[in-house]
Chains A and B, each alone.
Chain A
């Protein structure tokens, strides 16, 4: 059963289409990474799924229902971003108590334990916290609400690397204990790819690809060597990225359909073949210009 289904979803603001005929399905109980550049439409998409924004056209179903203004979807969804409107007058501990009343699966023991672990004082007020501590509190709430659909929209703003690592670990551990559908949108793909199952890559409101992380990691190969050798190899191939790195050398990224033989030959002529990380691949696929920023330097 699919937790989320979208068919030709459109969200337009005047003439600008933030979400542009997006279609995909999210199977339940998977951790999916939503990846894309700034302005690609990730937040808009997530807010439509959470039921906060109205679609302009197309179809969106969450738990087989229309999520907008839907109490059942709201009760089973938690949306964490860096703008949680917690009231000024409640302490952190009181906020946890309130959350417990709203969410049926809330786990108070873990929530309090996490608060303690991250050195968050339950007697403090939310607005007194630093940006990083606010984010930490937000993700604690999001995690231990244990909602069937848990959405994190760039939740780690201001968190230091250690806190982020702890968050990913906590996310994985609680997911293993209490499986649920999780959508994690982040710019730090290299940090989160190990705990993701699938990646949904979008650009300019459209879906570029939606596939399991291992497939994405094997999707392309990076070739580094003399430009004229690479130009040869690039012929009749789909170029994902190419850039001159100076001194007659170039870096070429192509789809991973190079035969063993070609690979063997390439290595013999000094072409270095490396894997392309999912994070880099997503950057290349979503960049408008195939040459990267090196072009700016090469042309001027």
Chain B
């Protein structure tokens, strides 16, 4: 009887995860690039208005890390989709893997880059404030909470990360669906924009859409948000896992 190497799923998943961290480290450079661009775009202020009375005119600019967070969301969605493409899946199959270990390793990788994305987005906001502070000499700033306290930073980090998880998992599922059948390249965007367009026209659909969004966005309890996010992420990822379990590789 041949002596076969016995291997355990956990060990392989761990190895694959570490391999991905090394192999796809370039993705984090793109994150840095994206967020730098976001910061530059935000320098002019992310909102504002002008007011004037008689001979007095003043303009107000508001500053937040909205653009940074938004671009990070887009980045995370794109990365999740990329992970499901042929060359990345084939990359998994070069050494030792099966679909389950690949997906689990992708999941661990996903959590990692969501954490990193969340952290850097929040810190990016802080960087933005610093730049502003030093460039205007601190005189033109009117705000009570310009300097973020550690708790606020932590909260921002946590919330951003949770939203990133949701978006990334959705991206992963979309990617998996597209890999299953090219038809989804048409169906998914059509669905997305279709719902938006319909919501614009039909009040009933708009209501449903707003309710769905508020379910996540206007959740005031942090614990509830965490639970909801984790649950939805797990379910969506589970579906992606089940769907992709019978796909072929290295065709």
Contacts and interface: CB of A to CB of B under 8 A. Distances in A.
Interface of A: 1, 3, 28-29, 47, 51-54, 63, 69-72, 74-76, 79, 83-90, 94, 98-99, 101-105, 148
Interface in B89-119: 90-91, 93-101
Contact of A102 (B90, B96, B246): B96
Nearest to B88: A85
Contacts of B9: 71
Contact of B91 (A47, A69, A87, A102): A87
B4 A71 contact: no
A86 to B, nearest CB: 6
A125 to B, nearest CB: 12
Contact of B248 (A28, A52, A102): A52
Contacts, number: 94
B180 to A, nearest CB: 14
Interface of B: 1-7, 9, 12, 15, 18-19, 22-26, 87, 90-91, 93-101, 245-246, 248-251
A89 B23 contact: yes
Contact of B96 (A69, A71, A83): A71
A69 B94 CA distance: 13
Contacts of A83: 90, 250
A102 B249 CA distance: 18
10 tightest A-B CB contacts, nearest first: A87-B23, A75-B7, A104-B5, A85-B90, A102-B95, A85-B91, A102-B96, A52-B250, A71-B98, A75-B96
A98 B4 CA distance: 20
Contact of B2 (A63, A86, A90): A63
A28 B2 contact: yes
Tell me whether chain B's interface is mostly helix, strand or loop, or mixed.
loop
A89 B93 contact: no
B15 A101 contact: yes
A54 B96 contact: no
A189 to B, nearest CB: 25
28 contacts: A3-B2, A28-B2, A52-B249, A52-B251, A54-B248, A63-B4, A69-B98, A69-B246, A71-B7, A71-B96, A71-B100, A72-B4, A74-B96, A75-B6, A75-B7, A76-B5, A83-B250, A86-B91, A87-B23, A88-B26, A89-B22, A98-B95, A99-B95, A103-B95, A103-B96, A104-B7, A148-B3, A148-B5
A200 to B, nearest CB: 20
A119 to B, nearest CB: 23
Contact of B19 (A28, A71, A75, A98): A98
Contact of A84 (B3, B94, B251): B94
Contacts of A72: 4, 6-7
A54 B245 CA distance: 12
